[in-house]
Structure 1
């Protein structure tokens, strides 16, 4: 063996790549010993072996060298071995001066891990698409957090309007859920897969409003964003909350965008086309603002295509209990707690006026969950403004009338109160142990009282 052949043999043996060299008849001359571990459980050098025989035995499936000898050209294929490996093989022929193949050099790279990763990625991608489809389906379903006819009518109107591009103006007091309905309108529409850009007009200083809405042309302002909120809403929905706070100078520009679907960035000269659906909301009386010259009449008519008035919570009392239960359940899950409202607290909240509407209710439920140490949330956990409210006083008076009317016997009144408390605890709790903690008495006492009032209660929990 010449020094050149020895060098070649050593290079192949020590190479990190799997290399095999055969002669023109497919007989293996040189090979990397590590090479065959991906093909068989009993690897051997196979020096002097025929690639045709190895292909017949199924060790090479197929043999890339055999293909090169047949086609007389470089070839790249994917091989599947007995060991379940996936091998990417590339082979090149070497010709003599007569045009005959005298050598075939092949390289093999184990692609099994990459292939597995790709398969896992594809599986994850399929799962993700499935989850996305489920989310879209859930978005499309109406979450019925209302019982009132007023809210049911609003929900029906939103479903009818969803797949139109009609401009909707949400009217109502602060905290009634205008932004929630705007997002629902978007999620039910054909634009649901495009951006939903929410802008609170009352939080952006007038001096920055134009730049935030229309964006900057490069170089106009140091560190400025190039794209404005209107551009970000392209093909989606632009929701302008508190539209009554919009400066008059911006009102004129917004009107032009709505009419022409075009705008120019600050510092720019090029008109840009933009398509979006506009939804607005306000707790102000826009008609009065028009009369005072604080709001443009032409813009008002442009926005007032379909007005939707969201009633305050005090005008839909039948929804309060549903919202309380919903947010208690969500917050208990979020903070991993098991808090419950004492019946007297529940009664107070049902008759409270809720000047801050749904937002106030959400915030109060979170406050009670986080600040009450006991599992049962009692009246002393309520903020003073609620305890001192007309609702608390009216509730106390109503309860007193309920228990005292037509009675002067103390024992009878006390039994009525006790019976009422046992009934409420029975409805709220899952076991007599929970009832005992709820009422602040012992579990045997709960058993006795349940038996005492068994005519009004099912005793399955006892």
Structure 2
């Protein structure tokens, strides 16, 4: 074999499967490996004599590595995009003569399209794992009671009927009512009845998050977004609600600045994390709640009208406990059983305690009533909960009621009326006349005599 029949450099060049191009200082291609044709989807011989500047204008690839090397006069590595959308990792090297002038530019590349797709997939999986991890932490750290909604009154039955009707459609719902009426319970009820019940139920208390932290908590943030930020970034509450329900409690507490940002999110269902450039999209159901008069807030320019109309597609007003007294006894029974099971205790409320609970003005509504029942189950030392186990406010109410009923009587009759009421109450709470005497602070013979006086059997 003659030396002229065997060109070692040419064979080595063509043995490369990857793209390898050699250009002169004017950007004209003088060498091209066969792999170039496969990568750029052209015949490699057609590249010879072509200008890389013209090929860039034609969209065969971008950016042009040669021009960058001629400008910077040093080795360059970058990602190049081909006409077919492939991603190439390109390295360009300047070849200089004895005077240090660039005479050739050699560039070689590797197709990294699949690697970039894998990276995107891993990034999405990392985001999803972060979302799930954060959601689990929230559920682990948050105490959740499995309360049921008790509704014997016609007003609450109408509320639940409306909630069931809207549960299976992704319409925005605004829950209205005083503090403690059960807005968060009704929101969870709607979520559990909806097709999204397998997704997360994420509750955002708009009044509890400091104003300067709201955006970072709500939308999340990227690593190093601000001083003190986690180096790994943080998934926002909005992302946690993807495929589930986002519950905005105390929405009336939002500042006007954050109202604008929440409105934009509701309209577009997409956002950027704080410090991020990647657009995030979520698919979630929106429920909001407030104890404020938002219509008044709109009139006084404290709440945006456009946000109000976005939120209140279906408004549901939950009546306070004083407007549905027939619900009080079922609520007492339901939660007494629940707390008995939770704390493994058996409790019974005597008539005086039940009467006090039924007649008390529950300004804190259901939340206050539930807390009172839990308190009695935990703190009463005996299985029978009596009036002496009630807090002073409820006991004072009982005594005050007796004196109110005695009002208008002359002193002698009023004293006898109060004395009889106290004897009746003591007899209900005690088994023997000795126990009654101890409770009333008088002698046992006095108790017997007074019972006979008032014909109390």
User: Which TM-score band (shorter chain)?
Assistant: 0.5 to 0.7
Match of 1:361 in 2: 369
**Structure 1 pair 360–293 and aligned structure 2 pair: CA distance change class (3 A):** same
> Are 1:214 and 1:228, in contact at CA under 8 Å, matched by a contact in 2?
yes
Question: What are the equivalent positions in structure 2 for 1:203-242 lying under 5 Å apart?
Answer: 203-221=208-226, 222-223=229-230, 225-242=233-250
Structure 2: gaps spanning 5 or more residues: 1-145, 408-412, 437-457
Match of 1:301 in 2: 309
> Are 1:354 and 1:360, in contact at CA under 8 Å, matched by a contact in 2?
yes
SS at match of 1:388: helix
TM-fit CA distance, 1:218: 2.9
Match of 1:394 in 2: 401
Residues 124-152 of structure 1 deviation map (CA, whole Å, 9 limit, x = unaligned):
xxxxxxxxxxxxxxxxx995612100000
TM-fit CA distance, 1:275: 1.2
TM-fit CA distance, 1:380: 2.0
SS at match of 1:284: coil
TM-score, normalised with respect to structure 1: 0.55
Residues 376-421 of structure 1 deviation map (CA, whole Å, 9 limit, x = unaligned):
22222211222234x76337756x89xxxxx99x9xx979x86x99
Out of 283, 287, 290, the residue aligned to residue 275 of structure 1 is 283
**Structure 1 pair 337–396 and aligned structure 2 pair: CA distance change class (3 A):** farther
Match of 2:25 in 1: none
Out of 178, 183, 186, the residue aligned to residue 178 of structure 1 is 183
Question: What are the equivalent positions in structure 2 for 1:44-123 lying under 5 Å apart?
Answer: none
Match of 1:284 in 2: 292
> Are 2:252 and 2:292, in contact at CA under 8 Å, matched by a contact in 1?
yes
**Structure 1 pair 191–436 and aligned structure 2 pair: CA distance change class (3 A):** same
Question: What are the equivalent positions in structure 2 for 1:132-171 lying under 5 Å apart?
Answer: 143=148, 145-171=150-176
SS at match of 2:235: coil
Work out the CA distance in 2 between the residues paired with 1:392 and 1:164: 51
Structure 1: gaps spanning 5 or more residues: 1-140, 402-406, 426-434, 442-462
TM-fit CA distance, 1:282: 0.5
Count of residues in Structure 1 that have an aligned counterpart in Structure 2: 281
TM-fit CA distance, 1:226: 2.6
Work out the CA distance in 1 between the residues paired with 2:206 and 2:149: 29
Work out the CA distance in 2 between the residues paired with 1:197 and 1:289: 26
SS at match of 1:387: helix
Residues 86-121 of structure 1 deviation map (CA, whole Å, 9 limit, x = unaligned):
xxxxxxxxxxxxxxxxxxxxxxxxxxxxxxxxxxxx
Question: What are the equivalent positions in structure 2 for 1:311-322 lying under 5 Å apart?
Answer: 311-322=319-330
Work out the CA distance in 2 between the residues paired with 1:384 and 1:267: 54
1:243 aligns with 2:248: no
> Are 1:179 and 1:241, in contact at CA under 8 Å, matched by a contact in 2?
yes
Residues 163-209 of structure 1 deviation map (CA, whole Å, 9 limit, x = unaligned):
01111111111111000000000000000001100111111000000
